[in-house]
Amino acid sequence: MLLEKGALTSDWMPAFKAVPRDAFVPDRLWPGTAGGNRQGEAIDRNTDPARWWGKVHSDVPLTTQWDDGAHAGADKGRSPTSSNSMPTMVFSMLDALSVERGNRVLEIGTGTGWNAALLSYRLGPDNVVTVEVDPAVAEEARRRLAAADLNPLSVVGDGAQGYPDGAPYDRIIATCGISTVPYEWVEQAAEGAVIVAPWGPSYGGQGIARLRVGEGGVAMGQFVMSSAFMRLRDQRDTFPPTDAFPGASNWPSTASRRTTALSPDDMGSWHHMFTLGVQVPDMFCRVERGKAGAYRLWLLDMGCTSWATADYEPGRTAFEVAEYGPRHLWAEVEAVMSWWREKGEPRFERYGLTVTPHGQRVWLDSPDNLVPVQVP
């Protein structure tokens, strides 16, 4: 299956065979779906071993923790906070990492330990450092790694800080999403090192960035594929409640009203969310579900000054819009989508990222072609 999808390459085949996924997942887990974040019901190896084995050996993500361990189930309103990633993503990212014999690797986000085990088998445990923020998750991973006779240096700490005592690293890989590349990673990387990390703006949409560290502490590279990873705990987003916005609690209040040909449904496409989030970095969205597939999309700014809504109904080609506040958020979105169409409707692979000591910028096709950012 993984070979057919092109994710598992021949150089990773020995590690794949020697380090089975089933040795690095708990007895109780929640399988997700390959194309999204929907979580299935819990499966317990002790009560339903056939289903457990079937899901573990399927190409789906497996959630293993909720709300940093505060809850033991996938009830409404709870968030997954640790998982075993889908195998195609694991091996696609390892392929992008381009490890070579003798490389020292820093992994951010130990999780269940499977990724660290694969790296340790390939490069030797002495060449792998893995950092996990959650002590309980780290301890379980250590136990599984020890059982496989693979014992990389396992550190409990904030992954955003890396692990300077083990630097410099030839490769750095993150198994958690980020919106800002911690510059500590670049500082701890050797010149010529490769950094592979899931990067995405607060609005949504995420891709795997593959950066090469060059002279002057600059890391630069393109996005190689889309992704959907839980956030680095240090970079989790906190959005203000809708009722904190003037006029929102008595919608449509005194909002200006019009129609638009831009479908709210387009705002849910992963590459559209990425493009919107990069260009309007202080905007976020919420969805208010209706009946028969209808819903209201809310766009809001982090400063709690402005909001816009667009009402979606299946089969319509014109959609009702309400805008409130000093900013016209739906107009900003229309401008971004117009830019996207003018640029040939780019997907992730045409975007790139540059990280310097002074910040980071996303570009299109070449590093000197920066993606515009709307400053409120």
Distance between CA atoms of 103 and 108, rounded to whole angstroms?
A: 16
Distance between CA atoms of 259 and 261, rounded to whole angstroms?
A: 7
Distance between CA atoms of 177 and 158, rounded to whole angstroms?
A: 14
- Angle of CA points 156, 161, 165, to nearest 5°: 75
Give me the catalytic one of 82, 83, 85, 92.
85
Distance between CA atoms of 260 and 56, rounded to whole angstroms?
A: 45
Per the listing, tokens 């670049």 go with 186
Distance between CA atoms of 224 and 21, rounded to whole angstroms?
A: 24
Strands 128-132 and 153-156: parallel
Distance between CA atoms of 319 and 315, rounded to whole angstroms?
A: 10
**CA proximity to 89, closest of 63, 53, 115:** 115
Catalytic status, residue 83: no
Strands 295-301 and 307-312: antiparallel
Phi/psi for 239 (5° steps) reads -105, 140
User: 217-256 burial by CB neighbour count: b if 16+ within 10 A, else e?
Assistant: ebbbbbbbbbbbbbbbeeeeeeeeeeeebeebeebeeebe
Contact 205, 274 (CB under 8 A): yes
Task: Write out the catalytic residue numbers.
Answer: 85
